[in-house]
Amino acid sequence: MRSTSYRFPLAVLIAFALVLIINFMVSSQGSAPTDDEVNKIAKQLYCPVCESTPLDVCPTEACRQWREVIRTMLAEGKSEAEIKQHFVTQYGVRVLNVPPNPWATYFVPGVVILLGALFLARGFQLWMKPGRTAAAPVKAEAELVPQDDYVAKMEEELKKRK
């Protein structure tokens, strides 16, 4: 009699515990990552085999496998940075659509090219710049008078017209 009185509350407790466990398992598992979530990361990665094809639009079997890797890692709770780092470790930095250090990748070569161009421009400017030679002899005005008769006549005519 006494044992049966315990049965009902015990069953309720077990059922309650089961519900809690199932709920915990479901919530800890989380919902499966959507295609949009997968593609958001895939878009930032390039297929390591195909030429210049982002992973989100790449139709090959290999790319499908890599998208599944992203999905699995997202489901495991990995962050975007962790997933991208995994791809870099596995396949090299070339899989990233933006290099890991854009400053060093774009800025430094840009500055070097700019400095080189300025240097070259300055060099050519110096080359082309007209100068005077102090030691050059000064020619007499008479020497500069045109010797050609025809030109002399023309200049004389012009002077008369003035």
- The span of 7-15, 23-31, 36-44, 82-90 binding another protein (CB under 8 A) equals 82-90
Contacts of 46 (CB under 8 A, 6+ apart): 52, 53, 54, 55, 94, 95, 96, 97
**Positions 110 through 149 that interact with another protein (CB under 8 A):** 116, 119-120, 122-123, 126-133, 136, 138-139, 141, 144
Torsion 68-69-72-74 (CA) sign: negative
Q: Rule CB under 8 A: is residue 51 a binding residue for another protein? A: no
Check if the beta carbon of residue 30 is closer than 8 Å to that of residue 42.
no
Q: Rule CB under 8 A: is residue 96 a binding residue for another protein? A: no
In terms of CB distance, is 68 or 157 closer to another protein? 68
Count of residues that bind another protein according to CB under 8 A: 33
Check if the beta carbon of residue 87 is closer than 8 Å to that of residue 102.
no
Longest CA–CA separation in the chain, Å: 149
Residues that bind another protein (CB under 8 A): 48-49, 60-62, 65-66, 68-69, 88-93, 116, 119-120, 122-123, 126-133, 136, 138-139, 141, 144
